[in-house]
């Protein structure tokens, strides 16, 4: 396995799960999270785990750039 897959950039990891993204979404706080993790977090806490800003489920957007980086990373 490629060394980059063993040590990928932290920007490709969810700050909640610390796992590589599979379905990255951008939240209102400007940070990217794994969709399932941030949905659960918002339902329980309502606020960003990083900035403490109020978050809502209606404002989660697919992060296509992160998804593309993961595809490239996994193909090498």
pLDDT of 14-70, one tens digit each?
999 999 999 999 999 999 999 999 999 999 999 999 999 999 999 999 999 999 999
HEC secondary structure over the chain? CCHHHHCCCHHHECCCCCCECCCEEECCCCCEEEHHHHHHHHHHHCECCCCCCECCHHHCEECHHHHHHHHHHHHC
10: which 2 tokens? 């932290």
Question: Model pTM greater than 0.75?
Answer: yes
Domain ranges of the chain: 3-75
Residue with more model confidence, 16 or 7: 16
Topology of domain 3-75 in CATH is: Herpes Virus-1 (3.30.40)
């Amino acid at each position: 396995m490629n060394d980059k897959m063993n040590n990928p950039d932290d920007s490709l990891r969810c700050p909640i799960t610390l796992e590589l993204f599979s379905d990255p979404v951008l939240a209102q706080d400007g940070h990217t999270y794994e969709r399932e993790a941030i949905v659960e977090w918002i339902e329980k806490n309502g606020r960003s785990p990083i900035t403490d800003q109020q978050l809502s489920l209606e404002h989660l957007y697919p992060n296509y750039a992160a998804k593309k980086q993961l595809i490239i990373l996994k193909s090498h």
